[in-house]
Chain A
Amino acid sequence: MSKIVYIFLSLFLVVSCTKKTVILDGEPTPGFSLPLILNLNGKDCFYDDDLNLLKYPISNNELQNFQALVKFQNEAEVLFNKQISLQNNHVNSFGDLEYHKPYDLQVKLLDKTLNLKFIFTNLTLARVVTYDDIKNDPKSLAKLTVNYANYPIPSYNKYIGIEIRGKSSVFNDKKSYGFAPLQTKALKDVSSSSFFNFETNHKWALDALFTDKSKVRNKVCFELWSSLSSVSIESEFLELFVNNKSLGLYRLSEIYTDENLNLSNNSSMHEGIDNSTFTKFLELPANMPSGKFWADWEQVYPDPSEKDSWDDFYELSRLITTASNAEFNQKIFDQLDINNTIDYYLFMSLCDGYDNLGKNWFFLKKDQTQKFKILLWDLDATWGRTSQGYTRSYNKTNENNLFSRLLELNTNDFRNKVKNRWELLRSNQFSEATIKALFESNLNQLANYNAEELENTKWNSNFNIQAEKQYINSWISNRLIFLDNYFSNL
């Protein structure tokens, strides 16, 4: 019998011995880090397996004679741009660099030579490292690293709970994500964080910008709205990686929470989640509200599992939907902030926000002494495009039962107030030059980020900044002529 054992042992060692392979797209460690390929000045270069390239964000003033403390695997030899042999754990000089130029990078490890491209970018890079597929619900544990390019902000490196965001957009190839920063690896241990120069918050969104042909509609809308209202959303572009894959251009965005809205126990916030007769105030749901949902309305704050807060919103809905004209005229602006309502109506008229008059809007009441204010959300379907990205004519008006009744009944001289406000805004925030300049600056920013190539390569899309800029500019000009005429005849 012992002979058999020896034969088997020998056979084992003959047919099989240790084999090792060099990999760049390695799996996460329990600490949610990925294999080190190249680290410059304490920041990992992010690897995109699809395109076999490394990316590193760098500021404008670092481009000339760039020097960095370089780290890579101890056993490796790394050659940059075919001529610079990088010294591990030393400060190396990379010479003068150009944004988005694909430099050669050669990594020798074991007996293998790996050739890849190395790109320096002016776009902030974010990488989510996770073991699990990111699903719609529940959240997956991950680690988020954000390396800024032109912001003098230290890199961000924390655990997050991340999930897919959106409703119809969850079926798109490119997903939007929502995430909550965590204090530890426990998903319930939510903490607050800040990105770019935004205020701290405990919920954030990564907008995939998939259907928006310009990628800037949301950002421009919120920037324009912030000149009218103290409550808006700040956001910034970045390139998102999940493990060793780039997912292209994203917009890291604030989300309305109790933290950034300074909400209290007496606050309430409700959102229209679908375009329906209920959310357009044409019909009052038959049942009384309770819990999270009431027809197509959702109680966003306070947490419905802790407290029902529908009374005031029910009363507002009833007033708009079923109250007599006399009661509506008498009470509506006791409930709704008139200035905010006019601005919201004008803003949605300006950008043709047809998708924001039933869903994609929030009603916020900060406390019992204050009136409801309307907040903007999800403005993809604006400025001449539908929510699927199709063109939409400049000469459409959009209403729901709230605005229809206000206009029809001329409540509190609503029509005149709208007209006057429009005229005032047209010579300021809503001037053609101001609006076009906002688009110009955001689209130029994307062009500088080389976002066209990034998106079209990753998603086989047809993102054309110049063509969309022309379309939007032309649409804005026509829209303003149309609306000037419309409001002057109001």
Chain B
Amino acid sequence: MKIVVQLILMIPILCLHAQQIKTTQDVGAWMGATLKYDLTKDLDLSLSQDIRFQESLSELDKYISEIGLSYKINKEFRIGGELRYYINQKRDETQSQNWRYNLDFKYRTKLIKHLKFRYRLRHQTAYENLFTAQPNKGESKSAIRNRVGLFYKLKNHHELYFTTEIFRTILYYRKPYFSELRFVVGDEIETKYGQFDLSFGYERELNSLYPLHFMFTRVYYTFKL
């Protein structure tokens, strides 16, 4: 982590917030930790904290706290839901305090030896500035997300993966549209201290005249009680 901080400090801060100035390329970093607890044999509870940076890692993007439940239906199917509170620092320099819930349907299957296929369908709805005195409080933004991924198990507790995900955003004042495409390549590493997920991602805005190309590193740590 020390090197990350050093790199952040090296980058000059560029802080422009005119609407006429559109960020079309950016680098960010997502870091988080999750605590998992088995409530029953098939039901997990998770608590997580997540911090994300944007603008070449020079600015806070989001600070996230999340609680979630996941239920294993059988070996292949799982359903779950999360409730998230997050502070969102937008690119126009405004900030919002949002609440979001996710509903997940997950499927996983073994394709060949060591190679697994995973699919996640997520419905999410975020409420902007809910419980605040902001004029636009409670405006909702929903999305349907479809993610598919291939996971390859290596020796030494490593599992390499590649996922791709498309976002379809639903706003009440606009017809639903595909808003984002995300690719992530990473490694899930099991250690005696828990699981580390190190990955690199690329996001591209869709349906935009000047789409944002966003690259990010992700470092997540999960500890199971």
Listed in ascending order, the chain A residues whose CB lies under 8 Å from chain B are 1, 5-6, 8-10, 12-13, 16-27, 29-30, 32, 35-37, 73-76, 109-110, 131-132, 140-141, 185
Contact residue among A1, A23, A131 (Cβ-Cβ distance under 8 Å from B210): A23
Binds A, one of B12-20, B77-85, B108-116, B118-126: B12-20
Q: A9-B3, A19-B24 are in contact. Are A185 and B18 (CB under 8 A)?
A: no
Binds A, one of B43-51, B64-72, B98-106, B167-175: B167-175
Secondary structure call for the A interface: loop
Q: Are A20 and B19 interface neighbours, CB within 8 A?
A: no
CB neighbours of A25 from chain B (8 A): 209
Give 13 new A-B contacts, CB below 8 A, not counting A10-B7, A23-B21, A25-B209. A5-B219, A9-B3, A12-B27, A13-B57, A16-B25, A17-B56, A23-B22, A23-B210, A26-B19, A27-B208, A29-B19, A30-B173, A109-B18
Contact residue among A21, A27, A109, A132 (Cβ-Cβ distance under 8 Å from B24): A21
Q: A6-B3, A13-B27, A18-B27 are in contact. Are A23 and B175 (CB under 8 A)?
A: no
Q: How far is the CB of B201 from chain A (nearest CB, A)?
A: 10
Q: How far is the CB of B90 from chain A (nearest CB, A)?
A: 11
Q: Are A20 and B139 interface neighbours, CB within 8 A?
A: no
Q: Are A73 and B24 interface neighbours, CB within 8 A?
A: no
A18, A21, A25 pick with most chain B CB within 10 angstroms: A18
B55 adjacent to chain A (CB < 8 Å):
yes
Closest residue of A by beta carbon distance from B10:
A13
Q: A21-B210, A185-B172 are in contact. Are A13 and B24 (CB under 8 A)?
A: no
Q: Are B56 and A35 interface neighbours, CB within 8 A?
A: no
Q: How far is the CB of A141 from chain B (nearest CB, A)?
A: 5
Q: How far is the CB of B66 from chain A (nearest CB, A)?
A: 24
Complex CA–CA separation, A19 to B212 (angstroms)? 9
Q: Are B209 and A20 interface neighbours, CB within 8 A?
A: no
Q: How far is the CB of B126 from chain A (nearest CB, A)?
A: 13
Q: Are B173 and A131 interface neighbours, CB within 8 A?
A: yes
Complex CA–CA separation, A220 to B58 (angstroms)? 62
Q: How far is the CB of A6 from chain B (nearest CB, A)?
A: 6
Which 4 pairs show the lowest CB-CB distances between chains A and B?
A: A19-B25, A35-B19, A73-B18, A131-B174
Listed in ascending order, the chain B residues whose CB lies under 8 Å from chain A are 3-4, 7, 11, 14, 16, 18-27, 55-58, 136, 139, 171-175, 189, 198, 200, 208-210, 215, 217, 219
Instruction: List 7 contacting pairs A-B, 8 Å CB cutoff, sorted by A.
Output: A1-B189, A12-B217, A13-B56, A16-B26, A30-B136, A36-B20, A140-B175
Complex CA–CA separation, A52 to B23 (angstroms)? 22
Q: Are A75 and B27 interface neighbours, CB within 8 A?
A: no
Q: Are A185 and B26 interface neighbours, CB within 8 A?
A: no
Q: Are B55 and A16 interface neighbours, CB within 8 A?
A: no
CB neighbours of B3 from chain A (8 A): 6, 9
CB neighbours of B219 from chain A (8 A): 5
Q: Are A73 and B20 interface neighbours, CB within 8 A?
A: yes
Q: Are A76 and B189 interface neighbours, CB within 8 A?
A: no
Complex CA–CA separation, A17 to B55 (angstroms)? 8
Q: A17-B27, A18-B55 are in contact. Are A12 and B200 (CB under 8 A)?
A: yes
CB neighbours of B16 from chain A (8 A): 20, 75, 110
Q: Are B18 and A75 interface neighbours, CB within 8 A?
A: yes
Q: Are A76 and B18 interface neighbours, CB within 8 A?
A: yes
Q: Are A8 and B22 interface neighbours, CB within 8 A?
A: no
Q: Are A24 and B200 interface neighbours, CB within 8 A?
A: no
Closest residue of B by beta carbon distance from A9:
B217
CB neighbours of B23 from chain A (8 A): 18-20
Q: Are A17 and B20 interface neighbours, CB within 8 A?
A: no
Q: Are B4 and A9 interface neighbours, CB within 8 A?
A: yes
B20, B25, B27 pick with most chain A CB within 10 angstroms: B20
Complex CA–CA separation, A76 to B18 (angstroms)? 9
Complex CA–CA separation, A23 to B212 (angstroms)? 13
Closest residue of A by beta carbon distance from B55:
A18
Q: How far is the CB of A161 from chain B (nearest CB, A)?
A: 11
Q: Are B25 and A22 interface neighbours, CB within 8 A?
A: no
Closest residue of A by beta carbon distance from B200:
A8
Q: How far is the CB of A9 from chain B (nearest CB, A)?
A: 6
Q: How far is the CB of B41 from chain A (nearest CB, A)?
A: 32
Q: How far is the CB of B202 from chain A (nearest CB, A)?
A: 9
CB neighbours of A185 from chain B (8 A): 172-173
Q: How far is the CB of A347 from chain B (nearest CB, A)?
A: 43
Complex CA–CA separation, A114 to B190 (angstroms)? 54
Closest residue of B by beta carbon distance from A35:
B19
Contact residue among B11, B20, B24, B171 (Cβ-Cβ distance under 8 Å from A24): B20
Q: How far is the CB of A44 from chain B (nearest CB, A)?
A: 12
Q: Are A36 and B19 interface neighbours, CB within 8 A?
A: yes
B18, B174, B209 pick with most chain A CB within 10 angstroms: B18
Complex CA–CA separation, A20 to B217 (angstroms)? 20
CB neighbours of B173 from chain A (8 A): 30, 32, 131, 141, 185
CB neighbours of B19 from chain A (8 A): 26, 29, 35-36, 73
B14, B208, B209 pick with most chain A CB within 10 angstroms: B209
CB neighbours of A131 from chain B (8 A): 171, 173-175
Q: Are B210 and A12 interface neighbours, CB within 8 A?
A: no
CB neighbours of A22 from chain B (8 A): 20-22
B3, B136, B208 pick with most chain A CB within 10 angstroms: B3
Complex CA–CA separation, A6 to B29 (angstroms)? 13
Complex CA–CA separation, A185 to B58 (angstroms)? 36
CB neighbours of B11 from chain A (8 A): 13, 17
CB neighbours of A37 from chain B (8 A): 20
Q: Are A18 and B56 interface neighbours, CB within 8 A?
A: yes
Q: How far is the CB of A66 from chain B (nearest CB, A)?
A: 24
Q: Are A110 and B189 interface neighbours, CB within 8 A?
A: no
Q: Are A16 and B27 interface neighbours, CB within 8 A?
A: yes
Closest residue of A by beta carbon distance from B141:
A30
Complex CA–CA separation, A109 to B7 (angstroms)? 28
CB neighbours of A73 from chain B (8 A): 18-21
Q: Are A109 and B175 interface neighbours, CB within 8 A?
A: no
Complex CA–CA separation, A25 to B215 (angstroms)? 25
Contact residue among B7, B14, B174, B200 (Cβ-Cβ distance under 8 Å from A13): B7
Q: How far is the CB of B107 from chain A (nearest CB, A)?
A: 30
Closest residue of B by beta carbon distance from A74:
B18
